[in-house]
A and B are shown apart, each in its own frame.
Chain A
Amino acid sequence: MTILSRLLTALSLVLALSLSAPMAQAQVNPTQSSVSEDALFQALGTAPVAGRVTIPDANAGYLIKPENKSWAALQGQTLHTLSIVAVVGMIAILALFYLIRGKIRIDSGFSGRKILRFNAIERFAHWTLATTFIILALTGLNLIIGKSVILPLFGEAAFGTLSTWGKIAHNYLAWPFMAALIMIVLLWIIHNVPNKLDLEWIKMGGGLFKKGVHPPARKFNAGQKLIFWSVVLGGAALSYTGIMLLFPAEAGTAADWQFYQTIHALVAAGLSAIVIAHIYIGSVGMEGAFDAMGSGEVDENWAKEHHGLWVEEVQSTQARNTAQVTTPAE
């Protein structure tokens, strides 16, 4: 019972262990409880595969988010095409309109008498909104089509620098845009409430398509009301989604951010097309129209043709005012 017996015990123990080892291994089946990627994808559907990470960034816990590829396809292809179609399409429509209808003239010619249409505050609000919108639209459009238009022309280095400045301009000019948007709402909302006159204006096609046709209108006709509400509602949507894009932490999840980005791009494309039409009719498209926002004073004949009721209102107010001034106090 000394060394020999100890050795025997040890040997039998080793033998027993080596025999039982395969059995022990068979008891633990790693496939049974192990997660497999395929099974996880099936169980999760479109939800991301997530787990625990040791770094503070909680978003790093998402291992695979296959849904991000859907947004990538939407942004990289669909929104890209839609933006080009909206802008190029509207320019083509306007070019066609110009070729057929030509410049809309003042039927009775310039009278030489001026009438104040927009005062300095209104023009300031309009031009702040207009300049910021144009820069925002161009810098935004650059993010969509710049790589297929500007990049081949100027090269990667210049395009990168331009886009960096474009991004900064877009981020900062959004704020004066929003301020001007609030200003035009306060200034013009009373004049833009839809009424029965608008139906008549729409029925007559706004007199846009036929010479000598001028539906009656107050300060803003139905077409201008349409522009107003497009800018106000579209601008509000752009502002809200834009703020969410600027502050992604406020936007919520990545999917929420992607949703806001899609809305932002769609509204921007639509509003840009509308504003291009607005710029056309306010400049080359119609004789005497630019003065309204240029000097603020329009020709009386232009005003009578396009805003007949408004001219009557203005003139009767003026007459009343003059009467009050000239009547001596008793």
Chain B
Amino acid sequence: MARMKFLCDADRCIECQACVTACKNEHEVPWGINRRRVVTINDGLPGERSVSMACMHCTDAPCAAVCPVACFYTTDDGVVLHNKDTCIGCGYCSYACPFGAPQYPQTANFGTRGKMDKCTYCSGGPEPDMSQAEYVKYGSNRLAEGKLPLCAEMCSTKALLAGDGDIIADIYRERVVTRGYGSGAWGWRTAYGETVTV
């Protein structure tokens, strides 16, 4: 079974924000929520790099450790998903996440948090695959259709890679060897306890 991961090759990312837009459009993400975002480090300085970041689908996910209602689960593909019916919008996962993935729509008075929303690795939620109920809560389920996450699939410079962790690590490693440099697999050490070594 594949272990799905994201890898952003920051030396290729041109900060075009297409991954962000594609994600928002594909899943009809509510206003104010970004399941994916691009962060530019050393902006305007020599060595500036942009990294596209979303939920990294961690091994031993910290969000799942702090969730008071145990609404998180990890799929056979290693994707961390959650059940919005169980979520109480307490916000704990957003303070546990190292990547700023969990976000909340404002639903009631005093800015009360609604059900948490985050990247699903384009694989929906606990509802039946590709059902309307699943689409409304989590967006489309591309994985069930045999496709990879749209953000990575349509990345113009192929900076953002999605797929089995071993395969995308090999692709990245080959790139680094060929071109002679690489800024690292951003977030991997924090999410999986290991990084891609060349």
Contacts and interface: CB of A to CB of B under 8 A. Distances in A.
What does DSSP make chain B's interface, helix, strand, loop or mixed? loop
Most chain B CB within 10 A, of A29, A33, A157, A160, is at A160
Interface in A32-65: 32-38, 40-41, 49-55, 57, 59-65
A34 B11 contact: yes
B119 interface: no
A75 B65 contact: yes
Contact of A160 (B85, B182, B186): B85
B100 A31 contact: no
B95 A34 contact: no
A37 B183 contact: yes
Interface string A111-150: 0000000000000000000000000000000111011000
Interface stretch (B31-39, B137-145, B151-159, B166-174): B31-39
Nearest to A248: B91
A156 B71 CA distance: 8
A72 B58 CA distance: 13
A50 B39 CA distance: 8
Interface string B57-96: 0000011011111110000000000010111111110011
A92 interface: no
Given A160-B88, A248-B91, A60 B41 contact: no
A95 B99 CA distance: 46
A279 interface: no
B interface bracket (residues with beta carbon within 8 Å of A)? 35 or more
Interface stretch (A210-218, A254-262, A269-277, A300-308): A254-262
Nearest to B84: A160
Interface in A234-292: 248, 254, 257-258, 261
A317 interface: no
A163 interface: yes
Interface string A160-193: 1001101100000000000000000000000000
A63 B42 CA distance: 12
B41 A35 contact: yes
A60 B47 contact: no
Most chain A CB within 10 A, of B42, B68, B90, is at B68
A77 B189 CA distance: 22
Give 9 closest A-B pairs by Cβ, nearest first.
A76-B65, A72-B62, A37-B184, A33-B47, A160-B86, A72-B96, A31-B181, A143-B68, A51-B41
Given A53-B38, A72-B62, 13 more contacts: A30-B181, A34-B11, A34-B49, A34-B181, A35-B183, A51-B41, A69-B96, A72-B65, A73-B65, A146-B69, A157-B85, A163-B88, A261-B95
